[in-house]
């Protein structure tokens, strides 16, 4: 089942005298349960494409279909609500709220969704156990390692059971051990819960784990390969 489809997607920047097509007519689809990496040199358009897929930026033209809805036509308010209920994000910089505990950070989206306390607590308990940070619920981000903070960020992304997870360079600030552990967790969740993960990355360790690799260059898909099982 398709979870995302793009049709003739363009994102053009005209802030300078030179027009830059960061995304240049990309048509792609992602199905449920994929573990895909968007890769390519710096400036190739991978982060721009990820931001478009997540509704963090609007395309110059083209469409992005998620669950039968063209999100490029939504208003800012509608897009905020749509993201909250359908998309999970994991960023390079963790983006945890310093004054909140790990548990409070992880359940943040569920609070916005006004989920009952019992449901929130059950979901966070389940996730913290699954990602190996059980017992860290009441600790604030400043007292967690980088790897632990990124695990909390993953828990936050997964807490509301979104249709898919978008991860922008999630391993960039992690050492080799933390990266391996985080990727093991993500792959396990992908395989056991059929969660779709889409990465924008230049990290070879992420690329090696991906089941599908989409190579971009100058905003164009130059190669799209899926692992044959």
Q: Which residues contact 180 (CB under 8 A, 6 or more apart)?
A: 205
* Tokens of residue 151, six digits: 């695990």
Q: Specify the pLDDT at position 17.
A: 73
* 18-73: pLDDT as tens digits: 788 899 999 999 999 999 999 998 889 999 999 999 999 999 999 999 988 899 88
Q: Cα torsion at 171, 34, 166, 183 (round to 10°)?
A: -20
Q: Specify the pLDDT at position 160.
A: 87
2-226 topology per CATH: Rossmann fold (3.40.50)
Q: Specify the pLDDT at position 227.
A: 79
Q: How far apart are CA 222 and CA 149, in angstroms?
A: 34
* Tokens of residue 73, six digits: 């036509």
Q: What is the mean pLDDT of each run of 10 residues along the chain (229 residues)?
A: 92 82 94 94 91 93 91 90 91 90 94 93 92 92 92 92 91 89 89 91 92 95 85
Q: Specify the pLDDT at position 14.
A: 83
Q: What is the pTM of this model?
A: 0.91
- Between helices 146-159 and 176-193, what is the axis angle to 10°? 20
Domain boundaries, the chain: 2-226
């Amino acid at each position: 089942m398709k979870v995302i489809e793009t049709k003739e997607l363009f994102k053009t920047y005209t802030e300078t005298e030179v027009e830059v097509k960061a995304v240049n007519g990309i048509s792609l689809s992602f199905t449920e349960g994929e573990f895909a990496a968007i890769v390519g040199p710096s400036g190739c358009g991978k982060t721009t494409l990820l931001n478009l897929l997540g509704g963090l930026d609007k395309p110059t033209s083209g469409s992005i279909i998620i669950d039968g809805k063209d999100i490029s036509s939504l208003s800012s308010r509608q897009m905020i609500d749509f993201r909250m209920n359908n998309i999970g994000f994991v960023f390079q910089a963790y983006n945890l709220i310093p004054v909140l505990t790990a548990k409070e950070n992880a359940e943040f989206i569920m609070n916005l969704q006004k989920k009952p306390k019992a449901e929130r607590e059950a979901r966070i308990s389940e996730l913290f156990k699954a990602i190996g940070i059980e017992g860290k619920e009441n600790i604030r981000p400043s007292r967690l390692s980088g790897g632990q903070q990124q695990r909390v960020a993953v828990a936050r992304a997964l807490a509301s059971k979104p249709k898919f997870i978008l991860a922008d360079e999630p391993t960039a600030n992690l050492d080799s051990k933390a990266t391996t552990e985080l990727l093991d967790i993500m792959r396990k969740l992908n395989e056991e819960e059929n969660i779709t993960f889409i990465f924008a990355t230049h990290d070879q360790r992420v690329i090696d784990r991906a089941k599908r690799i989409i190579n971009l260059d100058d905003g164009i898909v130059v190669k799209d390969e899926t692992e044959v099982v």
